[in-house]
Amino acid sequence: MLHRKECKNGLRIVLEQITTVRSITIGIWVKTGSRNETERLNGISHFIEHMLFKGTKNRTPQEIAEAFDGIGGEINAFTSKEYTCYYAKVLDTHQNMAIEILADMILHSNLDSIEMDREKKVILEEINMTEDTPDDIIHDKLHEMIYQDHMLAKPILGSKATVEQLTKQQLSCYMQEHYRPENIVVSIAGNTDQDYMNTVEEYLQFETNPLTRNKEMLISPVFHTGNAKFQKETEQAHLCIGFNGVDVTDKSIHAMMIVNNVLGGSMSSRLFQEIREKDGMAYSIFSYHSAFIDSGLLTIYAGTSKHQLQQVQDKIFSVTDQLRTNGLTEKEWEISKEQLKGLYMLSLESTNSKMSRNARNELLLEDHPSLEQVMKQIDRIQLEDVEAILNGLQADQSAIAVISPDF
């Protein structure tokens, strides 16, 4: 059963009780990511994520790590373009310790200058690692080309130049602006009860700030078409093709998921079968859809030899053209809904995944459809819903990014 509580300070707590497990996963989700930054502060959300593990007024970095290692639990975090999450998974007997430490990190982080200097080196190495991984960085290049001057175009890690110049004052001011209770959701899933929500509220007592904060007005991005090429000494050429997608609240989101699965989201997909299995032109070929608050992006990725790059690109557009022109086959239509329902249900078999689903629903949708409601929504998808998505798969409405040793 799902419980929801809105605290007096604006903090929201959602709790799903699961009595068949002995664990509990707790996530603190902050509605801020790289798109909420400025160009000068690009990477600050991710940098703060790192710094909250670097000591508080009550604990050293080692004590934070040892606290969870000592009970066989785990603590981690991640930053996306639209939110940052800090989470812990522990046995149910250690649930109070877990929220106490997470709250300590959020509320009492030192943001120590010496630790900042050390962590800058770590993040610069993380940026170096990404730049040395062309099948990762090509997706950032595609975003840069499509979104251009919008902050969705910027990498979550930031750049070496922006990370190196970050100061303690900038981190502190950014946290004061964004790490506010009305901007935070705490999501809990596991073997606990409704009273635990009161415990969470007690630990997350934010200091009152006399400054009123207006609701942030996000600027929606514009999708730009085009072709961007980047020369880099690599063994393979890396290709990304992007089409305009749908946002998280769009009623056609499930139709988009069906199109993605048929196109390149599984081993039976058209791209995988045509390009890898039949033609043998790529080892890695897939598609995925990214849904943001006010926009979306359908991306196709392929890694191939530089000599086959144009052939693979032409083949991808041939597949999308055939799919757009002829639609789904009867067999694809029959299995696609069941495949989507199966993927959805199987993705919710752990406390981690349930915690994440509930957090995203509260943070982005402010709604919690039940599993049965989602299944009905999938069953209600009509062919015309899918056809409307397919109409957008046109080559002249796409964006292309390529990394290759030469052209």
> Among all residues, which ones are annotated catalytic?
49
CB 261 within 8 A of CB 381: no
- 146's tokens: 């499509």
Q: Token digits for 343?
A: 């993927």
Q: Is 173 helix (H, G, I), strand (E, B) or coil?
A: helix
Tokens of 325: 């022109």
Nearest 5°: the CA angle 300, 328, 288 is 20
Q: Give which of 212, 211, 225, 187 is closest to 362, Cα–Cα.
A: 187
Query: Is 260 within 8 Å of 304 (Cβ atoms)?
Result: no
Alpha carbon distance 364, 82 (integer Å):
9
Helix axes 44-51, 113-131, angle to 10 degrees: 120
> Which residue has 């940052």 as its token pair?
84
41 Cβ contact partners less than 8 Å away, ≥ 6 residues apart: 162, 166, 170, 174
Give the list of residues 6+ apart from residue 395 with CB closer than 8 angstroms, or none. 317, 320, 321
- Would you call 185 helix, strand, or coil by DSSP? strand
The answer to whether residues 73 and 102 touch, using CB atoms and an 8 Å cutoff, is no
* Tokens of residue 362, six digits: 């509260």
Radius of gyration of the chain (CA): 23
Measure the CA angle with vertex 368, ends 362 and 374; round to 5°: 135
**Distances in whole angstroms, Cα of residue 363 to Cα of each of 15, 82, 305:** 14, 10, 42
